[in-house]
Structure formats: C-alpha cells, structure tokens
C-alpha cells in the first residue's frame, strides 16, 4: 500500500511539474512574440495612410491589467479599447499631414455607450475641421455602433448587413414568487422613494416609483440619441422613429433586405463588400507592398508617435475610478477602498502633480469604502491641489459619494448620476430548511445573540437596528452631498431618494457644475492650479513586474488588451457577483443597478 501511495505521489509531482513547465513555456513564448512584434514593427510611418480606429470589445476609461497566466486558465476573453487612446490618436492625427483620412472600424465593437460616444465625437469633429474625411465601416451596425458611425462623413455597410436600432430599456427578472416557493425570506432595508436596487427580490414587478423615474431618464437619453443621429445624418426625427418603430413595414417595403432599407432610408451612404472597400481605400491612399492599402491602427500609431506634452514638467494627475466600489484591495477592474486610497496618496505626494482629475465610471458599491476614498480625497484637497471630477458613463450612488467634495464636477449630457440612497439586505432560509426537515435551536447569552444567522428568523431587535443604521447612512450621504455642493441637507433630500438623473438634469439640479469631456475637466483643473503648460499623468496601480512588462509590451506593439470573462456570465450572476465583490463590513451599500448606461 505504501509503495502504491508513493507511486501516485510521484505521478502527481510529475504532472504538477509538467503543468508548471507548460505554463511557463507558453508565457515565455508569448513574451518572445511580443518582443519580436515590438522590434519588427519598425519606426517608420507611410507618407500617406489611413488611420484606423480599430475599436475592439468594450470601450473603457482604463484597461484591465493583462495576466496571461489567468487567461490560459479562464479561456474566454473580451477585448478592451481605451477611450483616451482613441482621442489621443485623433488629436495627433490633426497635426499629422501624413494621415489622409480616419476610418472608424466597428465590426468588433461590443459597447461604448452614449457618454463615451459623445466624447469621441467631439474629437472626430476636430479632425473633420482639417478638411480630411472620417469614414465608418462595419458589416452590420447595432444602435451603439451606429450612433458613433453617424458622426462620420460617410457610413459604409456590407450588402449582407443592416442597421438595427431598438431604443433603450430597463427590464429585470423579479424573484419574489420564486423565493416564496423556495421559502427564502429576503429582508430589505432602504431609504429613498426611488431606491429600487433590490426590488427584484421583494416584488414581482417594477414599482410605480421606479417606473416613473426610469421612464424619465430613459426618455431623455433616447431623445438625445434621436437628436444626435438625425442631426448627423440630416434626417427628420420622425423618419428615424418610423424606421425604428415600424421596422416590419420598412423591411416589407424592401422585400426583407435590411441593408437596402438602411441605404434608401439614408442611414448609410454606400453598400460595399470587403473587396470593394479595399479597392476604394487603395484609390484613396495607395497600395503597399502586400497589395493592401496603406493603413495604421491607432494603437500602433500611438506607439510610433510622440505625445505633444511629454516635455512639460508640471502635470495634471488623472485617476480612474472604474467598476464596483469594494472594501479592501481590488486588483483589476473595480475600486478598492484601500487600493484606491493608496493611488490618491500617490498623487498627493507627487510634487510634479499640481492638480488632480478623478475620472469616475461607477454605479457605486460599498458605503464604507466610498467614505474611505472620500476622506483620502479631502486630504488631497487640503494639500492645496485642486480636485476636479469627470463623470463618464455613470457616477451614481457610491460613485457620486466620492465625487461630491470636488472643486468642480463635469459630466456629459448622457452620464447617469445621482441615485443618492442607501440600502441593505439580509436573506433568511429557516423556512426553506424546515421543508427539508432541518431545524435550528440553541441558546444565547443576550436577546440578539445569533440574530444574524441565515438559518433563523431575523431577530426583530436586529431588524430595527439594521433599519436604523440604514437611515443613519442615508442622512450621512445627504450631509456629504450638502457639504460638498454647498446645499442644505433638505435641498439634497428633495433630489435624492435614490433617484437616477442624467448629466443634463444633474447640472440643472446643482449636482454637476459643467457639461463636457474628460479633456475639458483636465483643462479646468490646470486652470485652477494656474498652469499654462502641463502634461497629463495617469496615476495607475503598481503591477507585479512580469505583468507590468506584458502590459507595456502590448502598448508598444499596438496590440489590444483583453480581459477574461467567466463563461457563466449572465445579468443575474453579474448582479450577485457585484454584491459579493462589494463586501461592505457594515452591510450598507450605495449602489445603482440601473447604471449599466446605454
């Protein structure tokens, strides 16, 4: 028996050694390929070429760190494209006469959203002002890609494709009956008439308050979408409405040919196959040694050109708060109370950084971590450095909590913000266990001992205490906003109650100071610091050496970053995952579930 165990141990050790060898070998191979790509890319750009904005996957404010070892294990990946890289490449192209035209390559775009689209569209207008064209091309356009494409001078579509626009919506699954069948009691604690984050667990339908609030902000965003597309394409809004709402009639008019419908309804300018597109571009910019047209992707273009502000010594630091706000350390996508506070300290102690812009793209999360981050931001302000907030797609609930003390708050009209409210939740499964014949009994030394066990009914004393804590948290949230925005708590309460607002409404209500882009916020921060010449300095977390090397090589070679996505992803599991990540020590959350912005 001992010999057999020893044999299996040796086999196990051999397999573990083999696994490590293979993983290390693949990693080294990847490193060699990246180095080869870096040195093989060459320092020269063509004398005339098309600059392609090859927008892959999700457009984000900050790329997730690339860990090749994790990707080997998890498998499925989704690409990311950094918004600022797109804008920087456009702005460099404005001054670069070698760039004959810009191409929006949208086949691989997963999501950008209205807010980021509007910021990118402003940069595209700067390029169009030089007299050089912007072209958009895709095999097919969903409404996200089409909004961006509509900013182009010409929109090209494959004859087998189409343009699909459906409008915006908020639909959820509701679980009250399912939980009742499972005999699970879901205890919800909240303050705010419109704080609907946990409604799916206690209702079978959307509440009238949530319906009214969602209808208002969704309607406003849809109105902006219609206006932008109609203006960009010189269409009547009624014409676009007919295309969307009567798509069955539209398609019947063109015998089911969606591409022809898009062309005749003036949503696109030309139908071209891939070969026809190549021929068109070769006529524009010439033919390279491979028979293709001269083109350079925006990542490679950034790697081969110099930033205009690189020589300046004074800097405006940019910190990106992206994802769920969680207690403790967070590596990758997300905002950790401890780890993000360390980034703020890093910016505060850097003498070259004279002002800070906090870019927020978050629906919130842990109230404890939000307050921790806010306190660190207050120390930064006390050091004499101006603090300006730039809101991206969303800066709501905890995302607004950390914004409130800024010297200025900027947002785009399509930013989702507000959602000033607090909630907590606690499930109990004693009835469910009873159906299985499992009982819980015992004794405690106080009236509340064991009061937070999920296998017991929720203790009434504990229940009242939890609600009291949530109400205190809400009052604290009101005070934070009132102090930061120079308002009375009563004034904040009228526009709080967990209600979601667009950036446009938030400016009118005093929650936001200005409408504009991240670049506008950076310029404003520089002005507050008295800087006429400055550079941007992105303040990023320190990565492990090998991971940092891989990320640097990806940037230098112009390859896109990729982030692993679990195969079990779904809206439900995503919501549960977010709550598991937040891990607030007091079980108190400032989180907006509506803020997956259009």
Given 397, 432, 524, 560, which residue is catalytic? Answer: 397
The pLDDT of residue 568 is 34
The pLDDT of residue 187 is 87
> Average pLDDT of the chain?
86
Domains of the chain and any CATH numbers: 45-163+268-304 (3.90.226.10), 315-591 (3.90.226.10)
How would residue 498 be classed by pLDDT, with cut points 50, 70 and 90? confident
Q: Is 266 a catalytic residue?
A: no
Torsion of CA 325, 328, 333, 334, to 10 degrees: 10
CA dist., res. 430 & res. 410, Å (int): 48
The pLDDT of residue 566 is 40
Percentage above 70 pLDDT, the chain: 81
> pLDDT (tens digit, 9 = 90+) per residue, 421-470?
888 888 899 999 999 999 999 999 998 899 889 999 999 999 999 889 88
The pLDDT of residue 424 is 83
> pLDDT (tens digit, 9 = 90+) per residue, 464-484?
998 898 899 999 999 999 999
How would residue 519 be classed by pLDDT, with cut points 50, 70 and 90? very high
- Point out the least confidently predicted range of 142-146, 174-178, 255-259: 174-178
Between 308 and 369, residue with greater pLDDT: 369
- Point out the least confidently predicted range of 37-46, 179-188, 425-434: 37-46
In this prediction, residues 478-503 reach a mean pLDDT of 95
Residue 581: is its pLDDT beyond 70?
no
> pLDDT (tens digit, 9 = 90+) per residue, 63-111?
887 555 544 444 456 789 999 999 999 999 999 999 999 999 999 999 9
- Point out the least confidently predicted range of 57-61, 110-114, 191-195, 203-207: 191-195
The pLDDT of residue 64 is 82
The pLDDT of residue 172 is 87
The pLDDT of residue 518 is 97
Burial class (CB in 10 A: 0-12, 13-18, 19+), 38: middle
The pLDDT of residue 537 is 94
Q: Is 524 a catalytic residue?
A: no
Closest CA to 252 of 241, 261, 239, 263: 261
CA 411 to chain centre: 14
The pLDDT of residue 562 is 47
Closest CA to 451 of 441, 442, 461: 461
| Torsion sign across C-alpha atoms 323, 324, 327, 332 | negative
Residue 150: is its pLDDT beyond 70?
yes
Residue 510 CB coordination number (10 Å): 15
Order across the sheet with 270-271: list the strands: 270-271, 154-157, 134-138, 99-105, 49-54, 295-297
DSSP notation for 480-524: HHHHHHT--HHHHHHH-TT-EEEHHHHHHHTS-SEE--HHHHHHH
Given 195, 385, 419, 517, which residue is catalytic? Answer: 195
Residue 148: is its pLDDT beyond 70?
yes
How would residue 17 be classed by pLDDT, with cut points 50, 70 and 90? low
How would residue 290 be classed by pLDDT, with cut points 50, 70 and 90? confident
The pLDDT of residue 586 is 67
Percentage above 90 pLDDT, the chain: 69
In this prediction, residues 152-179 reach a mean pLDDT of 94
> pLDDT (tens digit, 9 = 90+) per residue, 558-576?
555 444 444 333 444 455 5
């Amino acid at each position: 028996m001992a010999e057999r165990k020893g044999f299996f141990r040796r086999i196990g050790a051999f397999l573990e050694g083999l696994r490590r060898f293979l993983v290390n070998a693949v990693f080294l191979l990847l490193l060699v390929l990246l180095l080869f790509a870096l040195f093989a890319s060459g320092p020269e750009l063509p004398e005339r070429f098309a600059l392609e904005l090859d927008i892959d996957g999700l457009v984000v404010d900050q790329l997730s760190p690339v860990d090749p070892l994790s990707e080997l294990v998890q498998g499925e990946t989704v690409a990311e494209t950094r918004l600022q890289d797109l804008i920087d490449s456009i702005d460099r192209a404005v001054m670069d006469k070698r760039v004959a035209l810009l191409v929006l390559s949208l086949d691989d775009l997963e999501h950008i959203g209205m807010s980021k689209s509007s910021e990118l569209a402003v940069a595209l207008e700067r390029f169009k002002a030089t007299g050089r064209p912007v072209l958009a091309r895709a095999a097919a356009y969903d409404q996200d890609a089409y909004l961006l494409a509509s900013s182009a001078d010409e929109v090209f579509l494959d004859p087998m494709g189409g343009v699909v626009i459906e409008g915006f919506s908020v639909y959820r699954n509701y679980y009250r009956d399912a939980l009742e069948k499972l005999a699970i009691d879901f205890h919800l604690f909240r303050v705010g008439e419109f704080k609907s984050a946990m409604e799916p667990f206690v209702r079978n339908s959307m509440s009238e308050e949530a319906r009214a609030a969602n209808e208002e902000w969704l309607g406003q965003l849809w109105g902006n979408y219609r206006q932008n597309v109609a203006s960009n394409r010189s269409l009547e809004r009624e014409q676009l409405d007919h295309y969307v709402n009567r798509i069955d009639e539209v398609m019947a008019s063109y015998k089911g040919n969606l591409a022809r419908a898009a062309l005749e309804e003036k949503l696109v300018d030309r139908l071209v196959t891939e070969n026809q597109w190549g021929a068109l571009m070769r006529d524009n910019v010439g033919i390279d040694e491979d028979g293709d047209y001269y083109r350079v992707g925006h990542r490679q273009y950034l790697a081969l050109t110099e930033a205009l502000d690189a020589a300046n010594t004074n800097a405006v630091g940019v910190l990106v708060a992206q994802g769920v706000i969680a207690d403790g350390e967070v590596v990758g996508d997300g905002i950790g109370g401890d780890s993000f506070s360390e980034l703020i300290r890093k910016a505060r102690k850097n003498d070259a950084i004279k002002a800070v812009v906090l870019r927020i793209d978050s629906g919130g999360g842990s109230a404890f971590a939000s307050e921790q981050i806010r306190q660190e931001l207050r120390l930064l302000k006390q050091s004499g450095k101006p603090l300006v907030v730039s809101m991206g797609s969303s800066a709501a609930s905890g995302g607004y909590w950390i914004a409130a003390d800024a010297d200025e708050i900027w947002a785009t009209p399509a930013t989702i913000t507000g959602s000033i409210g607090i909630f907590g939740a606690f499930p109990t499964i004693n009835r469910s266990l009873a159906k299985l014949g499992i009982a819980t009994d015992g004794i405690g030394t106080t009236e509340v001992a064991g009061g937070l066990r999920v296998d017991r009914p929720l203790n009434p004393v504990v229940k009242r205490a939890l609600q009291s804590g949530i109400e205190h948290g809400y009052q604290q949230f009101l005070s934070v906003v009132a102090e930061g925005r120079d308002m009375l708590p009563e004034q904040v309460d009228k526009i709080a109650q967990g209600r979601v607002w667009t950036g446009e409404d938030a400016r009118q209500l005093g929650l936001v100071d200005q409408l504009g882009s991240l670049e506008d916020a950076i310029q404003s921060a520089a002005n507050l610091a008295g800087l006429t010449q400055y550079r941007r300095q992105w303040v990023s977390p320190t990565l492990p050496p090998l991971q940092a090397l891989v990320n640097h090589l990806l940037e230098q070679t112009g390859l896109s970053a990729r982030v692993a996505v679990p195969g079990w992803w779904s809206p439900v599991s995503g919501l549960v995952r977010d709550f598991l990540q937040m891990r607030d020590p007091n079980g108190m959350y400032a989180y907006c579930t509506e803020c997956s912005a259009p």
